[in-house]
């Protein structure tokens, strides 16, 4: 089996690559080649002949796509079109796993969206992701490829440094205090968000790459079973793992960020995802503990932090 990961230097791309390299197989088939690609126009060798699976994880994130419309459209749409064209050149249609987003929906606080909810994005990033889903569903119908589009929740806790995603602070209010650093919270404590852990997201991506797609029909998009939590609950879980750490979170309003995330739905009823075999989520406190176990020390070293 030959696998390409586009966006391989992102934190999910690196984790998927590490897992595949460690396992040496996917869906019971031995991996014979692993092609990793990031941050450049798509070259011909990013999807070499005989490619069986493509993880399309490359994207301009939400805040950056909103700030630079041309960049977001070029990467999130034109980049995906290049992937589809590369698939058309292959002898056999590959499985394409595409990371879509909860941002492709709107509705805000207090809503619980079912599997048949209409996508009505409230930002350019979400719009680009929704368009990408439709392009891949059509390409699957035409048998250019075999797509599974995962509408990923907000992923916490992300290692490393804050990025330009509007959702970055959801990780920041856990990661920074665990590093001994102050951080800001731009929304109220009762603000609810649909989340997933890095461990769970990787498990979903690998399942999407090896699952039987015959039950999906024309609809190649799925909302996996994340978890709806409030900011206050995240801070409570932080306190459970590291007492006193939540005191480093300072409430500072940021209307630009709040306006973006306020449009995202706070919860889903992901019955289709469960029926398709995507695993349910672990408890919130386990997410914080997993960051400490998996990523805290490497994040501290990467950022040259010697205290905490």
In this prediction, residue 39 carries a pLDDT of 78
In this prediction, residue 45 carries a pLDDT of 83
In this prediction, residue 101 carries a pLDDT of 95
Decide if 69 is catalytic. no
* CA 18/CA 11 separation, integer angstroms: 11
- What domains appear along the chain, each with residue ranges and CATH number? 2-105+117-153+196-222 (3.40.50.720)
Q: Indicate the angle between helix axes 198-210 and 284-294, nearest 10 degrees.
A: 90
In this prediction, residue 172 carries a pLDDT of 97
HSE-CB at 114 with a 13 A cutoff on CA atoms is 1
3-state secondary structure of 39: coil
In this prediction, residue 43 carries a pLDDT of 67
3-state secondary structure of 289: helix
Sign of CA dihedral 202, 204, 205, 206: positive
In this prediction, residue 308 carries a pLDDT of 57
Closest CA to 60 of 136, 148, 132: 132
Full-model pTM: 0.94
* CA 17/CA 35 separation, integer angstroms: 9
In this prediction, residue 166 carries a pLDDT of 85
Catalytic residue among 55, 98, 105, 125: 125
Yes or no: say if 99 and 59 are a contact pair by the CB < 8 Å rule.
Answer: yes
Residue 289: φ, ψ to 5°: -65, -35
- Exposed/middle/buried for 35, CB within 10 Å: 0-12, 13-18, 19+? middle
Yes or no: say if 76 and 33 are a contact pair by the CB < 8 Å rule.
Answer: no
In this prediction, residue 48 carries a pLDDT of 94
* CA 125/CA 104 separation, integer angstroms: 8
In this prediction, residue 132 carries a pLDDT of 98
Q: Which pLDDT tens digits describe the chain residue by residue (308 residues)? A: 999 999 999 999 999 999 999 999 999 999 999 999 997 666 668 899 999 999 999 999 888 899 999 999 999 999 999 999 999 999 999 999 999 999 999 999 989 999 999 999 989 999 999 999 999 999 999 999 999 999 999 999 999 998 888 899 999 999 999 999 999 999 999 999 999 999 999 999 999 999 999 999 999 999 999 999 999 999 999 999 999 999 999 999 999 899 889 989 999 999 999 999 999 999 999 999 999 999 999 999 999 998 65
307's torsion region: left (phi>0), alpha (psi -120 to 50) or beta?
beta
């Amino acid at each position: 089996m030959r696998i390409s990961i586009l966006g391989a230097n992102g934190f999910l791309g690196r984790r998927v690559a590490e897992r595949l390299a460690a396992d040496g197989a996917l869906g019971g088939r031995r991996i014979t080649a692993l092609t990793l690609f990031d941050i450049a126009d798509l070259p011909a060798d990013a999807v070499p002949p005989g490619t069986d699976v493509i993880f399309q994880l490359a994207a301009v994130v939400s805040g950056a796509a909103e700030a630079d419309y041309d960049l977001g459209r070029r990467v999130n749409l034109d980049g995906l079109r290049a992937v589809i064209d590369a698939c058309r050149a292959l002898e056999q249609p590959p499985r394409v796993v595409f990371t879509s987003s909860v941002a492709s929906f709107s509705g805000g606080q207090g809503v619980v969206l079912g599997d048949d909810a209409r996508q009505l994005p409230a930002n350019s990033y979400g719009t680009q992701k929704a368009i990408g889903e439709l392009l891949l569903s059509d390409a699957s119908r035409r048998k250019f490829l075999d797509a599974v589009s995962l509408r990923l929740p907000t992923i916490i806790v992300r290692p490393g440094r804050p990025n330009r995603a509007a959702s970055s602070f959801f990780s920041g209010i856990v990661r920074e205090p665990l590093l001994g650093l102050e951080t800001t919270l731009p929304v109220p404590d009762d603000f609810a968000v649909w989340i997933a852990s890095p461990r769970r997201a990787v498990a979903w991506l690998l399942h999407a790459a090896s699952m039987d797609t015959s039950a999906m029909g024309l609809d190649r998009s799925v909302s996996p079973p994340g978890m709806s939590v409030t900011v206050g609950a995240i801070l409570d879980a932080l306190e459970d793992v590291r007492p006193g750490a939540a005191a480093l979170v300072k409430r500072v309003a940021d209307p630009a960020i709040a306006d973006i995330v306020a449009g995202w739905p706070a919860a889903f009823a992901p019955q289709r995802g469960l029926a398709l075999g995507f695993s349910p989520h672990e408890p919130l406190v386990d997410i914080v503990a997993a960051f400490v176990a998996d990523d805290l020390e490497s994040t501290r070293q990467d950022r040259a932090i010697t205290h905490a």
